[in-house]
Amino acid sequence: MNIARNVALIKDRIAQACIRAGREPDEVRLLAVTKYASDRAVQELIDLGVRCLGESRVQDGLKRMARFGPDLEWHLIGTLQRNKVKYCQDFALIHSLDRMPLAAELERRAAAWGKQQEVLVQVNISGEETKHGLAPGEALEFVQRITRECPHVRTRGLMTIAPHIAAEEVRPFFRKARALYETIKAELGLDWDTLSMGMSDDFEVAVEEGATLVRIGSALFREEE
């Protein structure tokens, strides 16, 4: 496994997708998803200059924060339970806010922490029953409520997970997510800057459709990429 080579290749593929879409490569952040990686592999990523890392589960994220120190930016990308919010103070960005009780708990905790917790609102853009996230039609009102009622919760954009189908077939879903992102941002006049979409098997299409952050796990640790 050659992580250095995989990182270089993925960055290059992101840059090429940006060029195809008339975007600047530095508009897209690479979030390295480390949920299946060994500590050794994570250390290798850090040594390569990767600073933005993501874990699915709160406890795994906390362990890695403790192991690798505070200079990194850890994101929580997986579903968050309300009873785990109290452990989330040090996550730079939570990608999975999708219901009001969770927002209320984040508000309560973040106020006590004396910070604004940055979050993304997760949208279930494909409507698959197995996926978490708000229905697209509910997202604007939800964001409006957070903005109004939760001063310690700061939304920075949307996160979505595309259906597990051929990369080219996911394009309409990414396009729909981008349109929703732009609509909410404009209608509510928010200073949003993050559209989190695209994973190992579909990130180039996501970048072409406007992703500003891609969440890449397995492609970083593959034998051949």
Ligand X SMILES: *Cc1c(COP(=O)(O)O)cnc(C)c1O
User: What span, in angstroms and rounded, lies between the C-alpha atoms of 117 and 110?
Assistant: 6
| Choice between 147 and 218, CB closer to ligand X | 218
CA separation, residue 162 to residues 3, 19, 105, 132, 150 (Å): 25, 22, 27, 11, 28
Say if CB 192 and CB 156 are below 8 A apart: yes
Using rule CB under 6 A, residue 56 touches ligand X = yes
Give the residue with the Cβ less far from ligand X, 56 or 117: 56
**Binding window for ligand X (CB under 6 A); candidates: 42-50, 110-118, 143-151, 197-205:** 197-205
Site string for ligand X, 125-164 (x = CB under 6 A): ------------------------------------x---
Give 110-113 contacts, CB < 8 A, sequence gap 24+: 110/152, 110/153, 111/151, 111/152, 113/89
Size of the site for ligand X (CB under 6 A): 14
- Regarding 6 and contact with ligand X (CB under 6 A), the answer is no
33 touches 217 (CB < 8 A): yes
**Residue 33 CB, nearest approach to ligand X (Å):** 4
213-216 and 29-33 strand pairing: parallel
What letter represents residue 88's amino acid?
Answer: C
Q: Six-digit token pair at 103?
A: 């927002």
- From residue 78 to residue 117, the character string flagging contacts with ligand X as x (rule: CB under 6 A) and all else as - is x---------------------------------------
Query: Tokens at residue 147, please?
Result: 């903005």
> Which range touches ligand X (CB under 6 A), out of 134-142, 145-153, 177-185, 199-207?
199-207
Q: Which of 3, 10, 28, 33 binds ligand X (CB under 6 A)?
A: 33
Q: What residue ranges bind ligand X (CB under 6 A)? A: 33, 35, 56, 77-78, 161, 199-201, 215-219
